[in-house]
Structure 1
Amino acid sequence: MPHATNLNRLAHFAAVVDAGSFTRAAEYLGITKAVVSQQVAKLEQEVGTTLLMRTTRRLQPTEAGRLFHARCVSILKEAEEALAELAQSRTDPKGLLRITAPFDYGTSVIVPLITTFTAHYTDCKVELNLSDSTMDLIADNMDLAIRVGWLDDSSLQSRRIGSFSQFLVGPPQLAAKIAEVRMPSELPSLPFVANNALREPLEWTFTRGDQNVQTVRFHENIAINTTPAVMEAVRLGGGLSILPDFLAKADVENGRLLHVLPDWRLPSGGIYIVYPAARFRPPKVSAFVDMLTTALKG
């Protein structure tokens, strides 16, 4: 074939052979007989072969036309199935969903959610990459990221779906020393477990009401690069640390951790979904995001 052929002409040609005439083919296609005749003539010109034998009484394919018709039927059927499959994929979640999330939020919130998601959407699989490092969504072929805290400027698309508070917590082993603390400025005298996954793990600003603001710089005796491990070190008596509420709240409520200076607030952070730039979202992504936002509202 000297150059690419308009695939619509294959449909016109196949309709003529199937109908046995240009007139009936035009009626089936909903266009004029002249258009059908013109398109078939252009197809024959493009392929350089006579495909139809025309007489005053009948129209039938040549030998080359019969072979070509069989191929056209196969091509058109495959195209129809591909379009139907694409249309279906726009509505039904299916396939592999690749997500990245921080260790702490991923373990406590996303892991339970993906078990529910895969049970509900049985045609979906989920691959969850837990990392406190910021992954390159495009290079690492991720469908979405859950990011917790404060977003950097980015060309990626993001959506804030929730927020969290931060608690200054300590172990019951330090209860006597913690009881003596009245102001944030007194905190640096206590041992501190630094979270090196954070950009600034040692300097924190505390507020109480509208007027009282104190910025404190802690002195770490332990530094760890994942939040769950920081929490475990605090539980074991390693020192104070600052943890997100979604991770520390249950331990504070059951007494495994002490909420230090609860009248003073630390900066709250956002929970974000971050996507690679794209015009359309696959159903698997939309379904997971809907489930996550519903769970957070609940």
Structure 2
Amino acid sequence: MAADAPTDLNRLGAFIAVAQAGGFTAAAERLGISKARVSLDVQRLERALGLSLFTRTTRRVRLTDAGQQLLDETAPLLADLHDAVARTHRSAGAVSGSLRIAASVEQAAQQLAPLVAEFALRHPALKITLQASDRVSDMLAEGIDVSFRMGWLRDSTLRAVRLGEFEQFVVASPAYLQRAGAPRKPEDLAGHDWIALTLLPTPLTWRFTARNGHTRSVRMNARLQTDSATALRAMLLAGAGVTVMDRLSVQADLAAGRIERLLPDWRVPSGGVFAVYPPGRHLSAAAQAFVEFYRARWSA
């Protein structure tokens, strides 16, 4: 093959990464190579084709019409090619390439980090990045292959698979209960200091279900709000008020007596565990393998 052949797959891969990530810096981070290498590969591809694939400004990189056509026609083919190679490795019990996973800080620390470590030991040819953040990631721009979320998905257009569900408890610290008293029925919570997690669809209104099936809806008074589950737990332990947290996040604190479960005869809605995939992008073999690994561990 000639040195400047336009079908050089490395150059094509660099072009696709820039187009999907929206810039050369993000593409370089996704590919694990230097920005200069990405820029050079794209320039050589453009020279070989005799076309401009991007319009470049100091702030943005945009696809030209020719670039958009090339992306639409080649991205699925290159993804299929990479997956064919990955499936060959998987048939021999191995997964290779790279995998970028996103999750909340709490979920990454408590659940995913140990699983990622175990998965990496099983697949030494695979390079894994675990991105922990309580903000919702732009999966395409950041090159995320799969994101794990707990709770409820606001965006119905997301490509998501429900992997399981989890219980939630109403909880408070002994110090807060000594100061404010314990609620005896759901309606009492309206008079307590509530700590709201603003990531939830309705952080202030909760539905309670009794063992006999009767339901009650209560509107809380939130003196404190946060968009971080980690900060929520810290404020809870500091005695700031009452809140709802998932069972996995609080089971150690419950066992140690650092917090107490309230209203055990009433249930709040269970939450879902989801694997979310980037829109319009082929799911990589490595992501598929990890999701199935996670599902098996969750079921166990």
TM-score bin, normalised by smaller chain: 0.5 to 0.7
Give, in angstroms, the shift of residue 278 of structure 1.
6.2
How many residues were matched structurally? 216
Match of 2:71 in 1: none
Larger radius of gyration, structure 1 or 2? 1
CA distance in 1, matches of 2:136, 2:81: 37
Distance in 1 between the 2:84 and 2:220 partners?
A: 57
| Alignment check: 8 A CA contact 2:211 2:265 kept | no
State how far apart, in whole Å, the 2-side matches of 1:262 and 1:84 are: 53
CA contact (8 A) 2:86 2:286 kept: no
- Give unpaired runs (5+ residues) of structure 2: 1-79, 90-94
**What residue number does 2:193 align with?**
191
Shift in CA distance, 247/156, structure 1 to aligned 2, threshold 3 Å: same
Aligned residue for 2:227?
A: 225
Residue matched to 1:255: 257
Name 1:205's counterpart in structure 2. Answer: 207
Conserved in 2, the CA contact under 8 Å of 1:90 and 1:282? Answer: no
The question of whether the paired residues in 1 share the 8 Å contact of 2:206 and 2:218 is answered with yes
Cα RMSD (Å): 2.4
2:140 matched residue in structure 1: 138
| Closer/same/farther in 2, CA of residues 131 and 199 from structure 1, 3 Å limit | farther
State the Cα distance separating 1:260 from its structure 2 match.
Answer: 0.7
What is the TM-score of this pair, normalised by structure 1? Answer: 0.66
Query: How many percent of aligned residue pairs carry the same amino acid?
Result: 31
How far apart are the structure 2 equivalents of 1:174 and 1:252? Answer: 15
Q: Secondary structure at the match of 2:266?
A: coil
Which one is further off, 152-161 or 110-119? 152-161
- SS at the partner of 2:209? strand
Q: What is the alpha-carbon distance in structure 2 between the residues aligned to residue 192 and residue 152 of structure 1?
A: 22
Q: Does 2:240 align with 1:245? A: no
For normalisation by structure 2, the TM-score amounts to: 0.65
The 8 Å contact of residues 208 and 264 in structure 1, kept in 2 or not, is answered as yes
1:90 to 69, 87, 90: 87
Q: Deviations over 1:231-259 (max 9, x none)?
A: 11111111111111110122112211100
Q: Using a 3 Å threshold, how does the CA distance of structure 1 residues 222 and 287 change in structure 2: closer, same or farther?
A: same
Partner of 1:267: 269
- Check the 8 A contact 1:91/1:283 in 2, yes or no: no
The verdict on how the C-alpha distance between 1:198 and 1:122 changes in structure 2, with shifts beyond 3 A counting, is same
Please name the residue that 1:175 is paired with: 177
Question: Do the aligned residues in 1 keep the contact of 2:198 with 2:226 (CA within 8 Å)?
Answer: yes
Tell me how far apart the structure 1 counterparts of residues 180 and 96 of structure 2 sit (CA, whole Å): 52
Instruction: Give the alignment partner of residue 113 of structure 1, picking from 115, 135, 141.
Output: 115
The equivalent position to 1:151 in structure 2, one of 153, 159, 175, is 153
1:215 is aligned, of 197, 214, 217, to: 217
Extract structure 1 runs of 4+ deviating beyond 6 A: 83-86
Q: Which runs of 5+ in 1 are unaligned?
A: 1-82
